Amino acid sequence: PQCGDDGREVRVAQADGALKRNDHDKARAMYEAALAKNPQDSEALAGLGDVSRKRGDVQSALTYYRKALAVNPSYLPAMLGLG
């Protein structure tokens, strides 16, 4: 994980929790808030991929996973998302 500033780690953790509860809107909002602070946040990008996948938007999911890997080529969650 990337070292947090401005509550980034908290936002990502809240987004992860919301995603596990299938609260896709809250998860998306929290991941987007993390990206607003750091557009290169691979965790938030992969998280948006997970939200998109759970919503059935496979194309968007793949795009977010690819963006996460462009930032961090060894980020396992994004690799797994691409299958």
Residue pLDDT, tens place only, 6-65? 687 888 889 999 999 999 999 999 999 999 999 999 999 999 999 999 999 999 999 999
- pTM, full prediction: 0.88
Confidence class of residue 4 from pLDDT cuts 50, 70 and 90? very low
CA distance 32 to 51: 11
Residue 17 CB coordination number (10 Å): 13
Tokens read off for 56: 């059935």
CA distance 10 to 12: 5
pLDDT, position 10? 83
